[in-house]
Amino acid sequence: MSEKMTGGCLCGQVRYEVDGDVAMQVNCHCKNCQRQSGSAFSTIIGVPEAALTIEGEFKTYDDKGESGEAVLRDFCPNCGSPLFSRVAVAPGLIFIKVGTLDDTSSFTPAMHLWTKSKQHWVDLAGAIAFETNPG
């Protein structure tokens, strides 16, 4: 996945464009991603922060991941859509919620992270799985 990508929140107040290569395509199963997504996991792509251009105002929730390190979770203050995460253990990358992309057809998760917290009914077939963060 290395084409120009666009996306935004549910109400359209926040729009973004990515002009660069995708560094990773993952599903994160940590409890905080489950809570933030309201689902079994968070489906995300990691891109270099410099490749992302954002239009519109968003809010940030200062969180800590299961690793104990900082996770900044950005969301639209109007519709509540979760958009981006900036994670201390991955400096220079920003993680975009795949569901906010205008075209998700290029996404295929390459790995599952924090599977020690996954829901018992989730099948991990087809991708590498790590109990926590990869080494």
pLDDT 10s digits, 42-65: 999 999 999 999 999 999 999 998
Looking at residue 75, what is its pLDDT?
97
Q: Which long-range contacts (CB under 8 A, 24 or more apart) does 70-75 make?
A: 71/32, 73/36, 75/9
The reply to whether CATH 3.90.1590.10 applies to domain 5-117 is yes
Every domain of the chain and the residues it spans:
5-117
* Mean pLDDT split into 10-residue runs, the chain, 135 residues: 84 96 92 92 95 97 87 96 94 96 92 93 88 82
Which pTM value belongs to this model?
Answer: 0.90
